[in-house]
Each structure stands twice: as C-alpha cells, then as structure tokens.
C-alpha cells in the first residue's frame, strides 16, 4: 500500500457525480488525515441528486457541495501543485490533470469509475447504478488507503 497522502484532489468531468462522492467518502472514511477537494473539467452542473441520495445512505452529506472546475480552482488560488495526489475518475479529467500538472512533481492516479448518469430508466435502477459507482470508489479507497478511521464507513450497504 502506498504512503497516505497529505492532500488529495478527486476529479471527474463535471464535479457533480463521481468526484463529490469521492470527496465525501474520503472525508467520512479518513477524517482529517488528508486535505481533500474535488474538481471537474467543466463546471456546468449542480451536484447530482442521485449522488446526494446514495451518499446519504452512508451518512455522508454532499448536498451543500458546490461544483467547480480546474479553471475556477486556479482562479480562487488553489494551486494544483499543492496536492500530493490527484485521482482522476474519468478519462477526460485524467487528460486535464496530466496537462495542468506536467511541470509539477505529483502523483496522478486513474481510477476507472462507472459513470452512472445515463444508466437506468426508473428511479430504483438509477439509484442502483449510482450505488455501484459509489461502491467502486469506496473499494478503491480501501485498497489504496487502507482501513478507515471511521469503522462504520467500511460496512457494506
């Protein structure tokens, strides 16, 4: 298992589905062990209601999350080089992270997480797809960062 980073940035396409879930899960599972943020290639969507619902099932509150892009992060003074680790959850965000950090020495990992947004017709089918994405993220975290400091966070739903 790799060393635990001091700061982690999760990124995906819109910072509305996967990366807010990852940010919320990381904070719930590992508390203050690392500074955690998330961003998207674009910021053109609010945080997704299904993401909010499946995180709430685990006691994770992401409804107040405000989506932001890499560009906005930089405008607000968040330098990508301040992060020890960037975890890209989509191919587009991986390309953007690599492009924006090509002159910095930091680790970028790609976790291929299912994009649940187009899956399922009925509400229950959509929720199942979002749970699958959430659980993929949680499994990768346990694999990468080890057992959580919050024992409740490790329980399967």
Is 155 within the bounds of a domain?
Answer: no
Instruction: Tell me if 1 is assigned to some domain.
Output: no
Classify residue 31: in a domain, yes or no.
Answer: yes
Q: In this structure, is residue 42 part of a structural domain?
A: yes
- Each of the 157 residues of the chain gets a pLDDT tens digit; together they read 668 999 999 999 988 899 999 999 999 999 999 999 999 999 777 889 999 999 999 999 999 888 888 888 888 777 788 899 999 999 999 999 898 888 777 889 999 999 999 888 899 999 999 999 999 999 999 999 999 985 555 444 3
Cα–Cα distance for residue pair 140/135, rounded to 1 Å: 9
Domain-embedded: residue 40 = yes
Residue 70 has what pLDDT? Answer: 86
Q: What CATH number does residue 35 fall under? A: 3.40.50.2300
Instruction: Determine, yes or no, domain membership for 2.
Output: no
3-class state of residue 18 by DSSP: helix
Number of folded domains in the chain? 1
Q: Is residue 69 one of the residues assigned to a domain?
A: yes
Q: Look up tokens 């890209």; give the residue.
A: 88
* pLDDT score at 109: 95
Q: Is 47 left (phi over 0), alpha (psi -120 to 50) or beta?
A: beta
pLDDT score of 152:
58
Residue 138 lies in a domain: yes
Structural domain of residue 66, as residue ranges? 7-144
Q: Which of 110, 120, 108, 92 is nearest to 15 (CA)?
A: 92
């Amino acid at each position: 298992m790799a060393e635990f980073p001091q700061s982690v940035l999760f990124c995906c396409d819109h910072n509305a589905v996967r990366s807010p879930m990852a940010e919320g899960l990381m904070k719930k599972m590992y508390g203050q062990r690392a500074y955690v943020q998330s961003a998207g290639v674009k910021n053109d969507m609010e945080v997704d209601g299904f993401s909010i619902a499946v995180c709430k099932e685990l006691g994770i509150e992401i409804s107040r999350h405000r989506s932001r892009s890499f560009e906005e992060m930089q405008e607000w003074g968040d330098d990508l080089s301040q992060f020890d680790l960037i975890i890209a959850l989509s191919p587009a965000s991986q390309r953007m992270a690599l492009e924006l950090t090509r002159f910095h020495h930091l680790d970028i990992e790609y976790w291929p997480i299912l994009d649940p947004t187009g899956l399922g017709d009925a509400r229950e089918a959509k929720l199942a797809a979002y749970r699958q994405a959430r659980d993929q993220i949680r499994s990768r975290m346990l694999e990468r960062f080890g057992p959580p400091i919050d024992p409740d966070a490790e329980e399967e739903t």
